[in-house]
């Protein structure tokens, strides 16, 4: 973790506008704006200056690109509000959730926290932690879709967060790998086709893999990106519900685990133990950097880091991977991340003012660009559209998701303890410690037992 007052500014970025995403186009996940827009250009976005010296702590995770952009935005805000000092606490994704949980439990949480929406139910169990932003007049809620606020940002009838960006799900493609192996980046992959083609490529060269995925976290990896995706695509419904209950049959789950095991046994996927070294940072995998890995699955907010690691002209995005002859080819979409204000903050009102400026103002949007994917705020998104600064690959992923969005997943699916069980069983099957049939049996038994604790 690093702490800075926000005096850094990022690099220049200007990318051609895409015609997709209801007018949203293309831009700069790869580099934040060089300077903050002059305050005079957006006087309406300037919060009222109370004059009282205030220090706020703002915590987030991300890549260096996101860090630089956020620090530049902080710097711009403090110039508009000289009485406010904002300390940035930032790091990579690994360990971030546990750090926040520990800080909240210990009463040392920051004033403003970037979070992931699946964490909210677990955090809510710790008590009344976050401000109800629906009651804060300083927040312009009209800029956000009510459906998103209701489904992803609310707990027990309270609006405890706001969406920072809109995420679309899909494949991150190493174009250099595809080109040298004669593959088309426009191919619509199924898991079965991936296994078949990946096995051929691996037989040609044992050093190359068409696909790679890590064991994962609550919101990614084997359980979320492979098993859950396969079952949703196959059946057109999620395999668990918020009752909570298991909806899929043992046979369906066993089939999904069979496909997962074949993915690794065939050589289509990089050995799981090797991929595990790059959890949350797959773009740093030497196989990706050296074009010996074809693709992975991730969210649109991560495009910048994969593109930068692949190199100029050596990156593309694609649709998610579906089940052969499945009932659904809908694409997942969600808030890229959310932001909440600590209810115990000594300067909660000032924190709310900053959050509104960060998410809704033109000034902030032209600094942050799409480092948290396409902004959810309509005013922020429109500012980037007008300035021609939305990355075409990010816009393409979000556009694909919005054209045919999957229904919002049951929150119980991403319960940390449930996710841990799913990941554990998936790993055991991949490593051969459980057969797919026994894995399905164990998964259902353990998840049903956990559901008793959740009810």
What is the span of the domain harbouring residue 72? 2-165+336-403
Examine the domain organization and report whether 321 and 240 are in the same domain: yes
SS3 label, residue 412 = helix
CA nearest to 154, candidates 408, 434, 425: 408
State the Cα–Cα distance between residues 62 and 330, nearest whole angstrom: 27
Backbone angles phi, psi at 231, to 5 degrees: -65, -35
Give the β-pairing of 112-115 and 158-159: unpaired
The CATH number for 112's domain is: 3.40.190.10
> CA 60: distance to chain centroid?
13
| Domain boundary, last residue among 380, 403, 426 | 403
Q: In which region does residue 256 sit, left (phi positive, over 0), alpha (psi from -120 to 50) or beta (all else)?
A: alpha
Q: Compute the C-alpha angle 315/318/405, nearest 5°.
A: 140
Examine the domain organization and report whether 36 and 98 are in the same domain: yes
CA nearest to 214, candidates 266, 283, 168: 283
Asked if residue 409 belongs to a domain, the reply is no
Backbone angles phi, psi at 241, to 5 degrees: -130, 165
Asked if residue 371 belongs to a domain, the reply is yes
Asked if residue 408 belongs to a domain, the reply is no
**Number of domains observed in the structure of the chain:** 2
Going through 287-401 in order, the beta strands assigned E by DSSP cover: 293-299, 315-318, 333-335, 338-341
Q: Compute the C-alpha angle 174/179/185, nearest 5°.
A: 60
Examine the domain organization and report whether 135 and 253 are in the same domain: no
Examine the domain organization and report whether 346 and 430 are in the same domain: no
Q: For the full predicted model, state whether its pTM sits above 0.85.
A: no
Examine the domain organization and report whether 173 and 157 are in the same domain: no
Q: Are 93 and 119 in contact (CB under 8 A)?
A: no
Q: How many CA atoms lie within 13 A of 409 on its CB side?
A: 24
State the Cα–Cα distance between residues 365 and 41, nearest whole angstrom: 13
Examine the domain organization and report whether 43 and 96 are in the same domain: yes
Give, in order, the Cα–Cα distances in Å from 400 to each of 63, 149, 186, 300, 314: 24, 21, 13, 11, 21
Examine the domain organization and report whether 389 and 242 are in the same domain: no
Examine the domain organization and report whether 323 and 428 are in the same domain: yes
> CA 178: distance to chain centroid?
25
Residue 82 token pair: 């000289």
Examine the domain organization and report whether 53 and 180 are in the same domain: no
SS3 label, residue 433 = coil
- Eight-class DSSP state of 239: S
Q: How many CA atoms lie within 13 A of 93 on its CB side?
A: 18
Tens-digit pLDDT string for the chain (455 aa): 444 444 333 333 333 333 333 333 333 333 333 333 333 334 344 555 557 899 999 999 999 999 999 999 999 999 999 999 999 999 998 899 999 999 999 999 999 999 999 899 888 888 899 999 999 999 999 999 898 999 899 998 999 999 999 999 999 999 999 999 999 999 999 999 999 999 999 999 999 999 999 998 656 899 999 999 999 999 999 999 989 999 999 999 999 999 999 999 999 999 999 999 999 899 999 999 999 999 999 999 899 999 999 999 999 999 999 999 999 999 999 999 999 999 999 999 999 999 999 999 999 999 999 999 999 999 999 999 899 999 999 989 998 998 898 988 888 887 888 989 999 999 999 999 999 999 999 999 999 999 998 86
């Amino acid at each position: 973790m690093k702490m800075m007052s926000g005096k850094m500014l990022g690099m220049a970025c200007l990318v051609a506008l895409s015609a997709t995403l209801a007018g949203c186009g293309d831009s700069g996940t790869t580099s934040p704006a060089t300077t903050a827009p002059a305050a005079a250009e957006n006087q309406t976005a300037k919060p009222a200056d109370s004059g009282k010296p205030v220090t706020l702590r703002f915590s987030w995770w991300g890549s260096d690109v996101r860090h630089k952009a956020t620090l530049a935005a902080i710097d711009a805000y403090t110039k508009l509000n000289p009485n406010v000092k904002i300390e940035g606490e930032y790091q990579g994704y690994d360990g971030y959730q546990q750090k926040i949980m520990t800080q909240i439990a210990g009463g040392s949480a920051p004033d403003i926290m970037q979070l992931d929406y699946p964490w909210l139910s677990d955090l809510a169990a710790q008590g009344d932690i976050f401000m109800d932003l629906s009651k804060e007049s300083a927040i312009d809620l009209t800029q956000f879709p009510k459906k998103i606020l209701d489904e992803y940002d609310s707990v027990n009838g309270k609006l405890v967060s706001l969406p920072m960006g809109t995420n679309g799900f899909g494949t991150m493609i190493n174009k250099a790998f595809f080109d040298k192996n004669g593959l088309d980046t426009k191919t619509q992959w199924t898991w079965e086709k991936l296994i078949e083609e990946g096995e051929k490529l691996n037989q040609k060269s044992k050093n190359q893999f068409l696909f790679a995925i890590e064991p994962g976290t609550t919101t990614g990896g084997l359980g979320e990106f492979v098993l859950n995706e396969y079952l949703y695509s196959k059946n057109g419904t999620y395999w668990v519900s918020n009752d909570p209950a298991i909806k899929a049959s043992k046979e369906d789950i066993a089939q999904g685990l069979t496909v997962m095991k074949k993915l690794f046994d065939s050589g289509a996927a990089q050995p799981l133990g090797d991929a595990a070294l790059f959890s949350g940072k797959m773009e740093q995998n030497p196989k990706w950097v050296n074009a010996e890995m074809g693709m992975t699955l991730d969210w649109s907010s991560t495009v910048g880091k994969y593109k930068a690691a692949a190199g100029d002209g050596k990156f593309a995005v694609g649709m998610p991977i579906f089940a052969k002859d499945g009932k659904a080819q809908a694409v997942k979409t969600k808030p890229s991340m959310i932001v909440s204000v600590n209810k115990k903050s000594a300067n909660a009102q000032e924190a709310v003012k900053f959050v509104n400026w960060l998410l809704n103002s033109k000034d902030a949007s032209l600094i942050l660009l799409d480092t948290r994917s396409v902004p959810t705020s309509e005013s922020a998104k429109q500012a980037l559209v007008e300035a021609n600064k939305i990355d075409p690959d990010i816009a393409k992923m979000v556009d694909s998701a919005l054209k045919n969005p999957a229904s919002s997943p049951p929150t119980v699916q991403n319960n940390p303890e449930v996710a841990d069980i799913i990941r554990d069983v998936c790993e055991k099957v991949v490593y051969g410690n459980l057969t797919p049939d026994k894995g399905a049996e164990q998964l259902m038994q353990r998840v049903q037992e956990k559901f008793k604790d959740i009810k």
